[in-house]
Structure 1
Amino acid sequence: MKLEEVNCCQIQEWYPKFKSVSIKTVVHELPESFIEYLCVDSGPLLLPTSVTNEDALPNRIHKPEDEEDYQVSEGSEDESEQPPSPPSFPELELKIKESIESLGGAVFPKLNWSSPKDAAWISSTGTLRCTSFSDIALLLKSSDSVVHDLCHPYDSCSDKTLSRPPLFYLALRKWYPSLRPEMEFRCYVYAQQLIGISQREVTAYYPAVLERKVELKDLIHEFFINNVEGEFKSDNYTFDVYVTKDKKVKLIDFNPWGAFTLPLLFTWEELELSGKLEENIDVRIVGSQHTVRPGLKTAVPYDYIDMSAGSGWDQFLRNADEELQQQMRSSEAGA
C-alpha cells in the first residue's frame, strides 16, 4: 500500500467530488490544540467546558460534603493533586454548533478516515448521534479508531515518510434515525473493477436482505458504473454504500485496500485472487442466524469526571437524562 492510496481516502479529499451521491456533510479543519487534547491518554477524562452553557444543569443534586474532599486550602503542599481544569475550544465549538443546526440538529462525527463506532457504547444513546460539541468530544476521546487516525494512519505504507497528515479534519455527517444497518454494504474494487460486495453488518441475519441479493448486486453495480468507476484516484480500494427504501444508492465512505480496512465476509487473499482471475462480482450476505448484540457499559470512574455546570460531562448527563425520559414516555404510551 502506498501513502497516496491512504491519503485519497480522507473524507476531505473525496467528499467534494462525490457530494452529490453521498450524505450531507460539513467538514471543519481542526486546530492543533484540539488534536493535542485528543492525543493525551493519561489523567482524568475531561470533556471541554461549554462556552454556550445552554445544556448546563443548574439544579444538579449533589452533596456538599463530597466537594470538600476535593478542596485544597490555601498554602497546602498538595496543590499539585488538584484535578486539572477542563480545556475549552470556544471558536471550534461555535462553528460545530452552527453546523449541527444546519444539518438538522443531529450529526455523527468522523475524522479524516474513521468514525468512532467503537466508542458508541459510551454515548447517552448508545449510537454515534451527537447534538452538541461535548457529545462529539466524548466519542472522539474514547475511540481507538480515532487514535489510529491520529497516530498510525501510515503504518502499513511501504513508502511511509510521515507519521501523520499535516492537518486533521472533523466531518459532521447528517444523522438519519431511520437508517437500517442491514442495508449498508462494503464494495471491493481491484484494478478499477468491482469484484466483491459484502454486507456491512455481519453480526446479524436478515432474511429479507438475503432474498434481495441479486437485486442489490444490480443496484450497487449500476451505481459503481455511473458514479465511481474511473472517478476515484486509486486502482484498488473499497467503498461503502447504503441502499435506501426507494432503491437509491448513497455513498458513505472510501477505504484503502487491505491493511486496517476490514474484509468482512471475505478474506483479502480470496479477493485478490478473484480480482486477478477477473471473475464475476461475488456478493456475500449473512446466510444464517448469527446474532451478536454487545451490551452497553460505562467504565469512567466518578473521581475522573468534572460535572460542574457548563462542563462537557454536565451536557452529556443532561442528554442521557433526556434520552431516559423519552424512553419512559414511549414505554408508557406503548402500555
Structure 2
Amino acid sequence: MKEEEVNRCQIQEWYPTFKSTTIKTIIHPLPESFIHYLLDDSGPFLLPLSISNSDPLPNRIPNSEHHQDFTIPNHQESDDESEQPPPPPSFPQLESQINQSIAALGGSIFPKLNWTSPKDSSWISPTGTLKCTSFTEIVLLLKSSDSLVHDLCHAYDLCNDRTAPPRPDCFFLALRKWYPSLHPEMEFRCFVRNGNLVGISQREVTGFYPVLIERKRELESGITEFYEGKVRGRFESERYTFDVYVRADGEVKLLDFNTWGGVTLPLLFTWEELESESESESGSGGMEFRIVESQCGVRPGLKTAVPYDYLDTSEGSGWDQFLRNADEELRRQTRSAGA
C-alpha cells in the first residue's frame, strides 16, 4: 500500500469528483486545537461549552462505567479548589459553522473524519446510531470513539513507502446527510484491481437476507453498470475498494472509497482470492458477486466495542481462524447445495 493510495481515500479528496453520485456532504477543516481536544485523555471527559442554550446535550461529564451523565459541580459548592474539574473547552466559531451546515442538510447528519466514521461509539447516542442534530452530539461521538485514533495517529502505518508523518497535515469533518430509511442489506463493497472490477461483496455480512438471492442478478448488473459509467477512470488508484448503496428504485449511490488491503476487510472474499482472481481475470471482464446464501453463512455479530472493520483479523489471530473456518463451512454448504 502506498501513501498516495491512502490519501486518495480521504473524503475531502474524492468528494468533489463524485459529488453527483454520492450522499450530499458538507466538509469543514478542523482547527488543531480541536484535534488536541479529541486526543486528550489526561483529564475528565468534558464536552465543549455550547454557544446555544437549546442544545440537547449541555456540558456534562459522561461516566462510562455506569453509562450515566453527571453535571459539572458548581465551583462554589466545594471548598477544595484542587478537586474542581478544568473549565470546559469551547469552539464557538466551529460550532456555529457546523450547526449552520446541519441545518442546510435537513437538520440531521452523520459525521466522518478524513477516512473514518465513529461507528464504535454509536452506543452512546440516544438513538443508538450515528445520527446527529447538533455540534455537541457530534463531539460526543468523536470523543468517545476509539476507531478514530486510526485517522488521528495511524493513517500511514501500513504504507510500504512511508515518508510522511503518522498523520495528515489537516483533518476534516465531513457532515453527511442522514437518511433514516436505509436498509443495511443494500450496501455492497466493490473491489477494483488493475482498473477492473474483480469482486462485489455484501457489506452487512452478519445477516442472511433472502431478498439478495432473489435480486442477485439485478444487483450485480446495476453495480457493474455504475462502476463502468461513474467510477472507472475517475478514481486515480489502480487498486482500491469502494462501497455503494442500492436504492429501492435501483439507483446506485457511492458511499466511500477504501484502500486495497490494510485495514479494509475483504468481507466474503479473502485478499488472496481477490489477488488471484484479479490476475487471472485481468482484461477479460470476469467478476464474482458474493452474498450470504444461507443463515449458516453469516459472519460474527457486531456486539463488540469496535466496528467489524477494526477487529483483529490478522493472520494467526483468533478471529482469523474463526473466519477461515466460517469460509470453509460456507464453501462446503455451497458445494453440497450444488450437488
Shorter-chain TM range is 0.7 to 0.9
Report the counterpart of residue 91 of structure 1 in structure 2: 93
Check whether the contact 1:117–1:143 (CA below 8 A) recurs between aligned residues: yes
- TM-score if structure 2 supplies the norm length? 0.80
SS of the residue corresponding to residue 148 of structure 2 reads helix
Report the counterpart of residue 202 of structure 1 in structure 2: 205
Report the counterpart of residue 281 of structure 1 in structure 2: 287
Taking structure 1 as reference, are residues 56 and 195 closer, same or farther at Cα in structure 2, changes over 3 Å only? closer
CA distance in structure 2 between the partners assigned to 1:149 and 1:70 by the alignment? 40
SS of the residue corresponding to residue 147 of structure 2 reads helix
The one of 204, 213, 224 equivalent to 2:227 is: 224
CA distance in structure 2 between the partners assigned to 1:57 and 1:93 by the alignment? 13
SS of the residue corresponding to residue 144 of structure 1 reads coil
If asked which structure has higher relative contact order (CA below 8 Å, sep 6+), I would say: 1
- Of stretches 285-294 and 9-18 in structure 1, the one that deviates more from structure 2 is 285-294
Report the counterpart of residue 171 of structure 2 in structure 1: 168
Report the counterpart of residue 249 of structure 1 in structure 2: 252
Moved over 4 A (4+): 66-70, 291-297
CA distance in structure 2 between the partners assigned to 1:70 and 1:241 by the alignment? 54
CA distance in structure 1 between the partners assigned to 2:93 and 2:57 by the alignment? 23
Check whether the contact 1:185–1:242 (CA below 8 A) recurs between aligned residues: yes
* Alignment RMSD: 2.2
Shift of 1:226: 0.2
Structure 2 alignment gaps of length 5 or more: 59-71, 306-339
Shift of 1:284: 1.0
Taking structure 1 as reference, are residues 57 and 119 closer, same or farther at Cα in structure 2, changes over 3 Å only? closer
Check whether the contact 2:189–2:203 (CA below 8 A) recurs between aligned residues: yes
CA distance in structure 2 between the partners assigned to 1:294 and 1:225 by the alignment? 33
Q: How many matched pairs? A: 287
Check whether the contact 2:245–2:253 (CA below 8 A) recurs between aligned residues: yes
Report the counterpart of residue 263 of structure 2 in structure 1: 260
Shift of 1:53: 1.6
**1:113-133 deviation per Cα after TM superposition (whole angstroms, max 9, x unaligned):** 011111111111000000011
Write the letter of the residue equivalent to 1:203. T
Taking structure 1 as reference, are residues 193 and 68 closer, same or farther at Cα in structure 2, changes over 3 Å only? closer
Report the counterpart of residue 2 of structure 2 in structure 1: 2
CA distance in structure 2 between the partners assigned to 1:67 and 1:232 by the alignment? 52
Check whether the contact 1:188–1:194 (CA below 8 A) recurs between aligned residues: yes
- TM-score if structure 1 supplies the norm length? 0.81
CA distance in structure 2 between the partners assigned to 1:192 and 1:106 by the alignment? 36
Taking structure 1 as reference, are residues 233 and 141 closer, same or farther at Cα in structure 2, changes over 3 Å only? same
**1:86-131 deviation per Cα after TM superposition (whole angstroms, max 9, x unaligned):** 2111000000100000000000000000111111111110000000
Structure 1 alignment gaps of length 5 or more: 59-65, 298-335
* Structure 1 residue 124 corresponds to structure 2 residue 126: yes
After TM superposition, the structure 1 = structure 2 runs for residues 31-50 of structure 1, keeping only pairs within 5 Å, are: 31-50=31-50
Shift of 1:56: 5.6
